[in-house]
Amino acid sequence: MLPERRVHATLPVSDLAAARDFWEGQLGFVPLEIWPTAVLYEGAGGSVFAISRASARATGGNTQMAFTVPDIEAEVAELTGLGIAFEAYDLPGLRTLDGIAEMGGNRVAWFRDPDGNVIGVIEFGPPA
């Protein structure tokens, strides 16, 4: 059954070559598998995600995928050094400071890929 299966995210992209430049060239991911319309990447712990050519751009303003990090300040600093721009929010219940928001004991930052997909990095706090 599905609860026993590994799961992965698939991000829609309009230009597969530009997306590969971002994920491989800028962020350093190495393709696990390459198909004519999609590329599969592996993250830590056997996690995988795909980028797939789509006819429409991402429309959601919500997080499509997130990476768990042990030190969010260090991760944001490293990604910023690679040219990644983090989202800034100043809304009721959601405010970032230096790109990082406090949310229910967790710390989160978001950036967008070239197609507008919202990618998060999250440092989980201790369980409540």
What does the pLDDT average to over 47-61?
83
Distance CA 19, CA 36 (A): 13
Cα angle vertex 105, ends 8, 80, to 5°?
Answer: 65
Report percent pLDDT > 70 for the chain: 97
Q: Is residue 20 over pLDDT 90?
A: yes
Q: Is residue 101 over pLDDT 90?
A: yes
Residues 6+ away with beta carbon under 8 Å from 107: 72, 100, 101, 122, 123, 125
- Domain membership of residue 115 (yes or no) is yes
pLDDT of amino acid 36: 92
Q: Specify the CATH number for the domain of residue 6.
A: 3.10.180.10
Q: Is residue 124 over pLDDT 80?
A: yes
- Quote the domain boundaries for residue 58: 2-123
Higher pLDDT, 2 or 72: 72
Q: Is residue 6 over pLDDT 90?
A: no
**Helix (H, G, I), strand (E, B), or coil: what is residue 38?**
strand
Number of domains in the chain: 1
pLDDT of amino acid 16: 95
The residue with tokens 């350093």 is: 28
- Domain membership of residue 76 (yes or no) is yes
- Domain membership of residue 128 (yes or no) is no
- Domain membership of residue 24 (yes or no) is yes
